[in-house]
Chain A
């Protein structure tokens, strides 16, 4: 099973709302990632968790707050977003850090900020 599950598939929120994106994997992977992808553009790395600790933050604005409650679950908490934050948010996981470890992606959450 190489499945990374993301919920919800679609999310519409206002600029004053608070919402969360969820990502789950049951492959025993110890590294998990959040990416942001605009239409017809490549994914941009936002955060990396390794062994449930935040190891990379690509200077992401504080209105995005990641959380890794356990090794299977990764959340992205959203607050006071801007319309330009509308995008596809992809989660990925890999067995551990290092390029030998292939990243497996979820199908993403399509976020619209009104």
Chain B
């Protein structure tokens, strides 16, 4: 069975600074997908970024980028130039290539301070 671990229950960062959220996972699959979802106080889960395991290049989306280390089974999220609107719960998630079940980590609450 696949597992996803987020070891940082809460983090805080000053506005405009950079923060990195950690995620590790365990799987015996060779191809799969990894996701970071954001859930602000408004409750709606929003996809931040997606990584396909067979792609070597780390995914980036504007201020958001990942450090994907397949051998280490690590998938961290870096947020640059943090903004107050980045305050949210962030979930790391795993899905097998042909599955549609998302396995979520426990989440990290990120607070951006002014």
Contact = CB atoms under 8 A, between A and B. Distances in A.
A100 B101 contact: no
B97 A99 contact: yes
A99 B44 contact: no
Interface of B: 32-33, 35, 37, 42-47, 50, 52, 89, 91, 95-102, 104-107, 109
Pairs of residues from A and B, 3 with the lowest C-beta to C-beta distance, nearest first? A42-B104, A99-B95, A105-B45
Contacts of B42: 107
Interface residues of A, number: 27
Interface in A37-83: 40-43, 45, 48, 50, 56
B45 A90 contact: yes
B43 A88 contact: yes
A43 B45 contact: yes
A100 B42 CA distance: 26
A66 B89 CA distance: 28
A45 B44 contact: no
A105 B91 CA distance: 13
A48 B107 contact: no
Contacts of A90: 45
16 contacts: A33-B100, A43-B91, A45-B101, A56-B101, A88-B43, A94-B100, A99-B32, A99-B96, A99-B98, A99-B100, A101-B100, A102-B35, A105-B37, A105-B45, A106-B44, A107-B43
A106 B105 CA distance: 20
Contacts of A106: 44
Contact of A42 (B33, B43, B47, B105): B105
B41 to A, nearest CB: 11
B89 A40 contact: yes
Given A42-B105, A56-B101, A107-B42, 18 more contacts: A42-B104, A42-B106, A43-B45, A43-B91, A43-B104, A45-B101, A92-B45, A94-B100, A97-B99, A98-B97, A99-B33, A99-B97, A101-B100, A102-B50, A104-B47, A107-B43, A107-B44, A108-B44
A22 B91 CA distance: 25
Nearest to B37: A105
